Each structure stands twice: as C-alpha cells, then as structure tokens.
C-alpha cells in the first residue's frame, strides 16, 4: 500500500537536497562527511530545517525534573542533544540533522554546481554485451521452457480453491491455464570501464593537513568518475624517493620521511597501466598529488620524458595537483607547465588550502575527458 506521506516526505528530501546543493561549495572543503560513508550513500550533516516561531530562549528556560541528586549536580549537556532540554517540543535552534544522500545524487549535484561536462568514454564504448537471464515466469511459452514447480503449484492452488482437491487421493492435474513458463530478460552490459590511479607524495614535507586536502579532493574525483563509468577500479601509489603500490588505507595514512623522486611513482604507474589496463579497453585517470618538491632537476627531466613518451599516450588525462604546505611549494608544477602545452592531456592545478579544492576539482574535471 502506498503511503500518503510519500509526497511530503519526498518534498522534504528535496528541500534538504536543495540546501546541500546551495551550500555544496562549503561542503566540498569539509571532511566530516567522509567518516560516515556507506557503500552507496554518505550522510551529510545539515542544519535542521525548521519553521521559525516566537519562542523562548532555551538557554534561559528552567525545567522540572525528577530523581536523586544534590543541588548543583549535572544532569545534562547544554548542546541540547538528548536529555537536558527538558520541555517537550523545545529544541535548540541550531540542531544538526544527518541526511543520507546517495553518491549518484551527490555526483549529480557536483556536476551541476561545477558545470562539469559529461565524459565521453572512449575505447570499446559502443560495444555492449547482450546477456539473457532467466529471471521471471509467464503464462505462455514453448513447452521446452515449462516450469514444473510453478505449474503444479498453480494447479494445486486452483484445485484447493475450487474444492476438487482430495487429500486422500492427492492427484494434481495441471490444465492449460495452470501452465507456467520460464521467461528471460536481456540485459545490456556497457563495457566502458575506467581506472583511477592515485599517486601521492608521502615524503617528510607532506603534512597531515596536505594529506587531508588530497583525501577530500580524491573523494570528490572518485564520486564524479564513478557516476560516469559503470565500473571503476582504483589503484593507489605512494612515493618518497621510492614508490610502491599500496591499498587505500595505507595510502591515506602512511607517513614516511626522506626525499622525493617523482619519477619513481610514474614508473610504477606506468607498470600498472601496462600490465592491467591496456589503453584500448580502459579509460585511465592518473592523479598525482605532491607539494612540488622534487629530488633534482634531473629527475624533473625523467618525469617529463616518462610523461611525454609513455604515460600521456596511455591515459585519458593525467592530473597533477600541487598542494601548498607549511614549507611552501616547489616548482614541479611550473616545470610541467613549461614543458607541456595546454592542448595536451596533462592538467595541473595548484591547491592552496581547503577552499582551493573547489577550483581544483573544476580544473581537473572541467575538460570532460
């Protein structure tokens, strides 16, 4: 039975989403929401939507309670959560409410807000797999697809209902109308698949704060790309002077010390692509974040050569994000900018602080590649 409340409930959810959309820019630079990430949903804290009323200042209000305790004993906290606010229906003004939003919706909002172009997947984009699966039952069909169990169930049902079923002599005879046949559904499987390869500098000069920025930014990149591709792989590479592939947890939480040789990461990245993600079949998105300090000019040249000769040919776009930290920034972005023209599929972006994430996402994803 459908509920009448459905309409009001949807309207309410839309209002909430409108609010999130309006303040998305602010949400983009915040990290609270990622702690509450489920498989397909995130819960986002939004200020309670409320109809204003003339009402008393709750901080001044007194209440009456019951129970043990001396004068001066603490019975609750003032933030108004849970007990303490005393009188029914009297909730403090700035309640926070958690709203669950699916990642798809979030991506849609992000796309609208940043005016991101839809990505045209390449590779086997037009090839879709057709697959037949027998998932349902129908009343007509060829005898070869007859479903015995359902047919007899139906016949038994009919006989019981019409009173012709005899318990002592339980013979069930299906009639024409009892017959049930297996039926199939053709599903199309789009083949456009993508891989995101995250690389991060974890050398001594990268602080927690910078990593936080990387984490927030990659959450949004992930959300967007996932909405564009049916299937997506994520790979993670960390590097200081040496690079290695790690899992997601390690990626965000490792801190090493030592120098930085960016080319090491690019080599690992290249290996991963060569081994698992042939460019003809995959949309490849390497993202690299560092503070821009590199070991030496020589290594800068190594990187450029790697990009020029190998990497750029094997990926949709290569993104480099330079995160500013307490030690300032290096000049790797500058080196890249000088060596590659805008037409090439290398995108660089500088992220000064959390507020810069918004623009940076736009830089990376605004090209629609």
Q: What residues line the site for another protein (CB under 8 A)?
A: 1, 3-5, 7-13, 15, 49, 51-79, 83-90, 93
**CA-based max dimension of the chain:** 94
Beta bridge partners of 333: none
Q: Which of 241, 123, 251, 242 is nearest to 197 (CA)?
A: 251
In this structure, the number of other CB atoms found within 10 A of the CB of residue 171 comes to: 8
Q: Crossing angle for the helix pair 208-228 and 356-365, nearest 10 degrees?
A: 40
Element (H, E) at 225: helix 208-228
Q: How far is the CB of 41 from another protein (least distance, A)?
A: 14
Nearer Cβ to another protein, position 75 or 96?
75
Q: How far is the CB of 223 from another protein (least distance, A)?
A: 24
Nearer Cβ to another protein, position 9 or 184?
9
Adjacency order of strands within the sheet including 193-201: 243-246, 231-239, 193-201, 282-290, 318-323, 346-351
Q: How far is the CB of 38 from another protein (least distance, A)?
A: 14
Q: How far is the CB of 120 from another protein (least distance, A)?
A: 36
Distances in Å between the Cα of 32 and the Cα atoms of 36, 214, 280 are 8, 15, 39
Nearer Cβ to another protein, position 51 or 326?
51
Please state, in angstroms and rounded to a whole number, the distance separating the CA atoms of residues 126 and 229. 13
Nearer Cβ to another protein, position 76 or 259?
76
Please state, in angstroms and rounded to a whole number, the distance separating the CA atoms of residues 95 and 74. 22
Q: How far is the CB of 234 from another protein (least distance, A)?
A: 31
Nearer Cβ to another protein, position 69 or 258?
69
DSSP strand pairing (128-138 vs 96-102): unpaired
Q: Which of 186, 188, 189, 190 is nearest to 136 (CA)?
A: 186
Nearer Cβ to another protein, position 66 or 162?
66
Nearer Cβ to another protein, position 66 or 166?
66
Q: How far is the CB of 25 from another protein (least distance, A)?
A: 23
Q: How far is the CB of 92 from another protein (least distance, A)?
A: 9
Q: Which of 173, 24, 186 is nearest to 113 (CA)?
A: 24
Six-digit token string for 368: 């629609």
Please state, in angstroms and rounded to a whole number, the distance separating the CA atoms of residues 277 and 269. 11
Six-digit token string for 5: 């409340």
Nearer Cβ to another protein, position 80 or 330?
80
In this structure, the number of other CB atoms found within 10 A of the CB of residue 203 comes to: 22
Q: How far is the CB of 55 from another protein (least distance, A)?
A: 5
């Amino acid at each position: 039975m459908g509920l009448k409340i459905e309409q009001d409930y949807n309207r309410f959810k839309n209002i909430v989403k409108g609010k999130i959309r309006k303040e998305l820019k602010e949400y983009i630079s915040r990290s609270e929401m990622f702690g509450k990430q489920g498989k397909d949903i995130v819960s986002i804290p939004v200020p309670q939507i409320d109809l204003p009323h003339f009402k008393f200042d709750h901080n001044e209000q007194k209440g009456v309670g019951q129970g043990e305790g001396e004068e001066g004993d603490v019975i609750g906290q003032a933030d108004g959560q849970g007990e303490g606010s005393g009188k029914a229906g009297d909730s403090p003004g700035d309640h926070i409410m958690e709203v669950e939003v699916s990642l798809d919706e979030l991506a849609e909002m992000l796309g609208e807000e940043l005016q991101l172009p839809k990505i045209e997947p390449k590779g086997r984009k037009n090839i879709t797999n057709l697959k037949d699966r027998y998932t349902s039952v129908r009343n007509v069909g060829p005898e070869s697809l007859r479903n015995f169990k359902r047919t007899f169930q139906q016949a038994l049902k009919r006989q019981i209902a019409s009173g012709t079923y005899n318990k002592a002599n339980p013979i069930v005879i299906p009639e024409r109308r009892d017959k049930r046949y297996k039926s199939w559904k053709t599903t199309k499987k789009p083949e456009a698949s993508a891989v995101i390869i995250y690389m991060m500098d974890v050398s001594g000069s990268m602080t927690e704060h910078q990593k936080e920025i990387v984490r927030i930014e990659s959450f949004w990149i992930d959300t967007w790309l996932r909405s564009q591709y049916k299937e997506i792989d994520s790979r993670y590479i960390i590097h200081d002077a040496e690079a290695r592939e790690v899992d997601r947890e390690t990626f965000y939480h490792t801190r090493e010390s030592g120098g930085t040789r960016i080319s090491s990461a690019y080599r690992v990245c290249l290996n991963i692509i060569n081994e698992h993600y042939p460019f003809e079949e995959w949309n490849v998105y390497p993202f690299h974040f560092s503070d821009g300090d590199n070991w030496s000019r020589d290594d800068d040249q190594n990187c450029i050569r790697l990009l020029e000769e190998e990497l750029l040919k094997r990926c949709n776009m290569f993104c480099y994000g330079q995160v500013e930290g307490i030690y300032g920034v290096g000049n790797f972005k500058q080196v890249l900018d000088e060596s590659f023209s805008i037409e090439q599929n290398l995108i660089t972006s500088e992220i000064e602080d959390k507020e810069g994430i918004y623009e940076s996402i736009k830089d990376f994803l605004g090209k629609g590649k």
